[in-house]
Amino acid sequence: MDPEEVVQEDEGLGWGKSLPVPSVQEMVRKDSQSVPERYIQEHNNRPLDSEFSPDLCEIPIINFSLLANGDEEEQRKLDLACKEWGFFQITDHGVTEKVLHDMKEAEAAFFQLPLEEKKKYAMGENDLQGYGQGYVVSEQQKLEWCDLIFLLTLPPKIRKFKHWPVSIPGFKEAVETYSTDMQKVAEELLANLSLLMGMEKEDLKSLHGEMKQAMRMNYYPLCSRPELVLGISPHSDASTITLLLQDDELTGLQIRHKQKWVPVKPIPNAIVVNIGDALEVWSNGVYKSIEHRAVTNEKRSRMSIATFFIPGDEAEIGPLESMVDDKHHLRMYKKIRYLDFLRHSLGSKLDGKAHTEFLKLETE
């Protein structure tokens, strides 16, 4: 088949697009010392030590198995974690070390492919699926020190295998198994959150219509000047929740907490969970979709896999009745069709909490 024809036939997700920019991995492979101007962040965006939280605070840790068994104390911890932090790590989640390991190996195998091979899975001109960079919307904007591959993973019918490096032995199987396991974890978390929000267990899931799952596999090459660049700029995720599998040793992720940046220290085999914009809106701002960013490292590259759980295109996001009243819990956000929100959010560069700010109602 003529490749041109495929591009024309497939209009992508209709979620947005990202302008093509060079591979950072390739740039560093050729010259590991230079940091081109386009990657040097403005002063106020650089990851300076002075902005760090002085007290050694760490995000909450939730025991997933207790939660799944209906432990009330653990449910209270979950509630508090979502209110005060918007981020937590889960341990005892039952996903085997092998599944986590195979997923990480699959990602590593992809980024080890020669550039020409990786390019076979490149994002189309009007699409965000595939290999490339995220959120590049203008020729002027600063670029991030990160390459990625973004894949839709569930339900199976939305998979576009032309972007999947299925020629890597075991890649497809590793992603499928990991994706199924993450779905179970996410659904259990959503069931608990549903109860905490005054609904029945299944209600939060139902509000999604046809819930989608997508994965963003990030590769942050080492950087000779980590104090000048960002792996990912401050942003909040457009999802309902996100599950992040990160490097077991290197700390790269930082979250905004009480006006400071708090690093998320890896706990081997734990999964980092964060609240996304859709849940912030449904919960009327009670659960927080917190700004986060990733920094780079001078000695080593770092990889991570973010699995996003996303409402269906036609789902409506707006504060739930159970989270609103006329006295103490005034309605804080507009209602919006999820696809419209997503297009707005993906069509602008990452900019802290700008995406949920745009949904905020004027309240005195």
Q: Read off φ and ψ for residue 29, nearest 5 degrees.
A: -60, -40
Structure tokens at 48: 């300076």
Task: Strand 232-235: give its sheet, edge to edge.
Answer: 232-235, 292-294, 253-257, 260-263
> Using CA atoms, how far apart are residues 58 and 214, in angstroms rounded to an integer?
27
Radius of gyration over every alpha carbon of the chain, rounded to an integer in angstroms:
20
Nearer to ligand OGA, 255 or 332 (CB): 255
* Distances, alpha carbon 253 to alpha carbons 237, 276, 337, 347, in Å: 14, 16, 30, 23
Which of the choices ligand OGA, Ni ion, none does residue 218 contact, using the CB cut-off of 5 to 8 A by kind? ligand OGA
Nearer to ligand OGA, 253 or 273 (CB): 253
Nearer to ligand OGA, 174 or 306 (CB): 306
The least distance separating ligand OGA from the CB of residue 293, rounded to whole angstroms, comes to: 7
Q: Is 291 in the site for Ni ion (CB under 5 A)?
A: no
The least distance separating ligand OGA from the CB of residue 276, rounded to whole angstroms, comes to: 9
Binding to ligand OGA in span 229-248, by CB under 6 A: 232, 237, 244, 246
To the nearest 10°, report the CA torsion of 226, 228, 234, 239: -50
The least distance separating ligand OGA from the CB of residue 324, rounded to whole angstroms, comes to: 29
Tell me the number of residues near Ni ion by CB under 5 A.
1
> Using CA atoms, how far apart are residues 117 and 20, in angstroms rounded to an integer?
16
Q: Is 294 in the site for ligand OGA (CB under 6 A)?
A: yes
Q: Is 317 in the site for ligand OGA (CB under 6 A)?
A: no
The least distance separating ligand OGA from the CB of residue 253, rounded to whole angstroms, comes to: 4
Q: Per-residue string for binding with Ni ion, 211-250, x by CB under 5 A?
A: --------------------------x-------------
Which position among 77, 93, 163, 292 is part of the footprint of ligand OGA (CB under 6 A)? 292
CB-side exposure of 329: number of CA atoms within 13 Å? 13
Which position among 208, 216, 288, 353 is part of the footprint of ligand OGA (CB under 6 A)? 216
For residue 66, the one-letter residue type is L
Nearer to ligand OGA, 236 or 284 (CB): 236
CB-side exposure of 282: number of CA atoms within 13 Å? 29
> Using CA atoms, how far apart are residues 279 and 162, in angstroms rounded to an integer?
31
Q: Using DSSP, state whether 318 is helix, strand or coil.
A: coil
Residues that bind ligand OGA (CB under 6 A): 216, 218, 232, 237, 244, 246, 252-253, 292, 294, 304, 306
Residues lying near Ni ion in the complex (CB under 5 A) are found at 237
